[in-house]
Copies of this chain bind each other. A is one copy, B any other.
Amino acid sequence: MHLVDAAEWSRRRDEAYRRFLEDIEVGYVDRDVVELIRLVFSKKRIFTTSSCSGRITIVDAAYPWLRDEAYVLFKKHEPVDPSEIEPIIASRPIHRYWLVVSGPIIHFILASLEDVQKLFTALRESGFKHSGVISITSAGVVVEAVSGVWTPFLLKDGDHTTVVSLQHVVGIANSILAEGKNRLGRLLKAFKELEI
C-alpha cells in the first residue's frame, strides 16, 4: 500500500523550500526558528511548511482560543515590556483582552509512517508532548508539533480590569515564552541526531 504519492510529495517539498528562501529574503521569517528550518530541509524525507518559534500576543476575543472572531492587537516573538502593552489595553475591548503566550508550533510533512514514528520520539524527548498527525493524504502525512506551553491571561473584560498587576503578569508571560524557546533549542539538538 502506497499511502503517499512520492512525486506529489516531492513537488510540494520543492515549493515549500522555495517559499522559505523567499520569506527569508523578504524578512518574513521568525528569526528564532530559521536554524531549525534549515536543518529540516537538509534532511531527505521531511519538510516543513509553517512554523512559529513562540510569541506573546494581545487579542480581543470572548475566549482566548478563538481565531476568526478575534482581533490580534499586538504580536511579538521576543520578551515584552509592560510599557509596550499598557497603551493598547487602556482602551475598552469589544470582548475581552487576553495576553496569550504560545510556545513553538511547527508543521512537518513526511512521506512514510515509519519516519513519523521516528519524529514522534524526537518530539517527545524535546518536550513537544502534544504533537500528533493532523492529516494523511497522498500529498503526505502532516505532523503538528506542539509543546503544550500555551497560557492565556485575562487582562480586561469590558470596563473591568481583571489583573492586580500587569507587570507581574508580563513577568510570568516572559518566563513562559523562554520555556517555549528552550524546547525549540532541545528540538534543534534532537534533529541533529535524527536520521530521516
Which A residues form the contact surface with B (CB < 8 A)?
A: 1, 3, 63-65, 113, 116-117, 120, 131-136, 144, 148-154, 157, 160-165, 168-169, 172, 176, 179
Contacts and interface: CB of A to CB of B under 8 A. Distances in A.
Contacts of A163: 162-164
A168 to B, nearest CB: 7
Contacts of A152: 151-152
Contact of A154 (B3, B153, B161): B153
A113 B2 CA distance: 12
A78 B117 CA distance: 37
Given A153-B154, A154-B153, A136 B165 contact: no
B151 A65 contact: yes
A159 to B, nearest CB: 12
Given A63-B176, A154-B172, A179-B63, A132 B161 contact: no
A157 B120 CA distance: 34
Given A116-B136, A162-B164, A163-B164, 17 more contacts: A1-B1, A63-B149, A63-B151, A64-B151, A65-B148, A65-B149, A113-B136, A117-B136, A120-B135, A131-B134, A132-B132, A132-B133, A132-B144, A154-B169, A154-B172, A160-B168, A163-B163
A176 B164 CA distance: 22
A112 B185 CA distance: 35
A41 B151 CA distance: 35
Contacts of A3: 113
A28 to B, nearest CB: 25
A163 to B, nearest CB: 6
